[in-house]
A and B are shown apart, each in its own frame.
Chain A
Amino acid sequence: MNEETKYMNPYLAGFLLGLLIVLAIYLNGDGLGASGAVKNTVIGTIQAVAPHSQIPYMKSYNATHPDSPWKTWLIWEIIGLIIGAFVSGLIHNRNKFVIEHGPRISSKTRLVAAVIGGMLFGIGSQFGRGCTSGAGLDGMAVFSVAGFLVTFVIFGTGYILAPFFKKLWL
């Protein structure tokens, strides 16, 4: 990077993000989400590969969700998110292929950690009924105890663990 690209003011970004959540709730009664879209993708893929899957979860899902998991609000929102991120990266000159990692680990270690972290986040988001966006952010915006609790636990756990994973980052 020859020149530090500047990010948006955090308070302004937060304010606009908050307005976006309010708009989403005003339109559909539900906020933004991310892990839900990945879930729909996974379920849609399972349905395509094994339409009559005997996995108990899928049987129950198929029985209660007659509509396609693809043509859903979350999926389209995520397509928008992808375009939005790409456009922002383009405008602010941040689009480039790179493996970001801490100074004390190799790219390979970083990628392994990323997959493991992702897996854990994927599993955790199912128990939490949403990730940082759908459960945490939206949950707090609608004052739900679950939203505050999950945010507190995610970040609290992160703080407790941070000293043990220092090597990955610092």
Chain B
Amino acid sequence: MGPIYPEPNFNLMLALVIGFFFGYLLEHAGFSTSKKLVGVFYGYDFTVWRVFFTAAITGMVGILALAHFGLLNLDAIYINPLYLWSVIVGGIIMGFGFIIGGFCPGTSICSTFIGKIDALFFVIGVAIGIFLFIIGYPLVQGLHKGSYMGTPQLFDTLNISMGLFTFLVIIFAFFTYWAVEKIELKVNNGKSADPTPKSTFAKITGFAVVVAIFALFIPPKKPTMLAEFAKPDFGKDMHINYITPDEVAVRLIKGDKSMQFVDLRLPGEFKKLALPYAVNAKPEQFCQMKMKNVFNAAGKITIIYSNDNNLDRRAAALATKVGYEPQNIWVLKGGFPAFKKDILDFKPPAVMPANRMLRTTYLFREEFGPQVMQILKNSKPRKVVIPKAKRALGGCG
């Protein structure tokens, strides 16, 4: 089941090939001239509209069909997150950029390499713009990271099926193709920018209607990740980062602020004693806003623990699968029981071992165990994330 995630180096070759066709298509569709691109705004050439919308509906049908035949796991694909105001402001700024500059980033790169000097200046502008954003990020961080609304999909928002939504969008698209043709004829005094012969367009429309009706009857197979997560061997082949109780203890004593903890135990146990400022949560809640803030906290690693090693491992795998940075997700080796036994309640053996390493470790634990305990007691655990899981976890959405 896709995505298949090709082997990294091979993947870069595929990127090159896919990019080649991307560039070829953009250029040969006529996107390598700003005159054709801005035509969409002045009504003399709607090529951009036709290409863009056709690509979008083809994409939708393709995704739906792959999901229906069990070839693509919809939980694993990237759904653009919705930061409401950031998207709106970004869209408006891009709208200004489009009408003033006459390109968008992809088309400007294409145009540059067929010799359009104006496109080259646009590309330079894009780089400057991104640089300015990076420099000025603290000023706009609030807007950029604010009003987060998850990764909603429009058919869910409208509360209709994926198939019905696809059907409606296809019908709408072809209605607009008909309408923009009328506009072109008016603006260009009876000349359309669309070279498609009427009979061919009728065939394309007929085909699209058939596809649209077909889309109504192919519901996507949506394996919910939670069902997978419940299996004991979930994520068995995934790499998991482990951190030992000793390292955690050392870092706590050093006042290391880069660790944060997610405690998967029952709220009762959690309230009694937990690692500093831990968040009590269930894996089912990993997609909720509060947990997103935890996992996505900049410059911090998140250490997961409970009383059940397998649960911890699966939870880390789940966090990775729903899209958090794998290198920031860690599992406390041995879970809370090990931390308690090895650090908090550590009792050195009657006879110290001969191994120097081990002896140093024991001495460390004996000396600093009580201090760590004090750190735990002094730090109020953050809060219990109230269970609110309504819909089955399927990616973070």
Q: Which A positions have Cβ atoms within 8 angstroms of B?
A: 6-11, 13-32, 34-35, 38-39, 41-43, 46, 55-60, 63-64, 66, 71, 73-74, 76-89, 92, 94-101, 110-111, 113-133, 135-162, 165-166, 168-170
Interface pair A121/B98, CB less than 8 Å apart: yes
Q: Nearest 3 pairs between A and B by C-beta?
A: A117-B101, A118-B125, A122-B129
B127: CB under 8 A from chain A?
yes
With A and B bound together, what is the CA distance between A145 and B397 in angstroms? 11
Closest to B91 in A: A153
Known: A86-B113, A111-B117. A73 touches B130 (CB 8 A): no
Q: What would be 28 A-B contacts, judged by CB atoms less than 8 Å apart?
A: A8-B30, A14-B29, A18-B55, A19-B62, A20-B21, A27-B11, A28-B11, A30-B77, A30-B78, A34-B104, A56-B137, A76-B16, A81-B110, A82-B23, A83-B19, A98-B115, A116-B100, A117-B99, A118-B127, A120-B101, A123-B93, A135-B90, A142-B77, A144-B79, A145-B154, A154-B95, A160-B95, A168-B100
B253: CB under 8 A from chain A?
no
Across-interface contacts of A28 in B (CB, < 8 A): 3, 5-6, 11
Interface pair A77/B22, CB less than 8 Å apart: yes
Across-interface contacts of A157 in B (CB, < 8 A): 91-92, 94-96, 98-99
B389: CB under 8 A from chain A?
no
With A and B bound together, what is the CA distance between A144 and B378 in angstroms? 44
Closest to A80 in B: B19
With A and B bound together, what is the CA distance between A18 and B5 in angstroms? 20
Of B107, B113, B133, B162, which is within 8 A of A123 by CB? B133
Interface pair B114/A158, CB less than 8 Å apart: no
Interface pair A15/B54, CB less than 8 Å apart: yes
In this complex, the interface size class of chain B, counting residues with CB under 8 Å from chain A, is: 35 or more
Interface pair B125/A122, CB less than 8 Å apart: yes
Which of B81-89, B273-281, B312-320, B380-388 forms contacts with chain A? B81-89
Interface pair B93/A120, CB less than 8 Å apart: yes
Across-interface contacts of A116 in B (CB, < 8 A): 100-101, 125
Main secondary structure of the interface of B (DSSP, over half): helix
Of A60, A99, A117, A121, which is within 8 A of B298 by CB? A60
Interface pair B130/A126, CB less than 8 Å apart: yes
Closest to B75 in A: A29
Interface pair A77/B133, CB less than 8 Å apart: no
Closest to B169 in A: A140
Q: Which of B135-150 contact A (CB under 8 A)?
A: 135, 137-138, 140, 143-144, 149
Closest to B327 in A: A66
Q: Which of B113-128 contact A (CB under 8 A)?
A: 113-119, 121-128
Interface pair A141/B56, CB less than 8 Å apart: yes
Known: A27-B4, A140-B56. A118 touches B93 (CB 8 A): no
Interface pair B24/A117, CB less than 8 Å apart: no
Known: A80-B17, A84-B23. A158 touches B3 (CB 8 A): no
With A and B bound together, what is the CA distance between A45 and B125 in angstroms? 15
Interface pair B59/A114, CB less than 8 Å apart: no
Known: A18-B58, A29-B3, A124-B90. A143 touches B154 (CB 8 A): yes
With A and B bound together, what is the CA distance between A153 and B6 in angstroms? 35
Interface pair A162/B41, CB less than 8 Å apart: yes
B66: CB under 8 A from chain A?
yes
With A and B bound together, what is the CA distance between A118 and B47 in angstroms? 21
Interface pair B47/A7, CB less than 8 Å apart: yes
Interface pair B109/A82, CB less than 8 Å apart: yes
With A and B bound together, what is the CA distance between A115 and B194 in angstroms? 30
Interface pair A10/B47, CB less than 8 Å apart: yes
Minimum CB–CB distance from B107 to chain A (whole Å) comes to 8
Of B56, B66, B140, B196, which is within 8 A of A26 by CB? B66
With A and B bound together, what is the CA distance between A16 and B217 in angstroms? 24
Minimum CB–CB distance from B39 to chain A (whole Å) comes to 9
Q: A9-B196, A135-B80, A169-B38 known; 8 other A-B pairs, CB under 8 Å?
A: A19-B62, A20-B21, A29-B5, A111-B121, A128-B91, A132-B104, A141-B62, A151-B52
Across-interface contacts of A127 in B (CB, < 8 A): 86-87, 89-90, 93, 140, 143-144
Interface pair A43/B298, CB less than 8 Å apart: no
Minimum CB–CB distance from B223 to chain A (whole Å) comes to 14
B72: CB under 8 A from chain A?
yes
Interface pair A11/B196, CB less than 8 Å apart: yes
Of B28, B61, B130, which is within 8 A of A122 by CB? B130
Minimum CB–CB distance from B73 to chain A (whole Å) comes to 8
B255: CB under 8 A from chain A?
no
Across-interface contacts of A63 in B (CB, < 8 A): 298-299
B35: CB under 8 A from chain A?
yes
The digit string for B43-66, where 1 denotes a CB below 8 A from any CB of A, is 000010011111111111111001
With A and B bound together, what is the CA distance between A95 and B108 in angstroms? 14
Minimum CB–CB distance from A18 to chain B (whole Å) comes to 2
Interface pair B104/A131, CB less than 8 Å apart: yes
B235: CB under 8 A from chain A?
no
B352: CB under 8 A from chain A?
no
Across-interface contacts of A152 in B (CB, < 8 A): 91
With A and B bound together, what is the CA distance between A169 and B102 in angstroms? 9
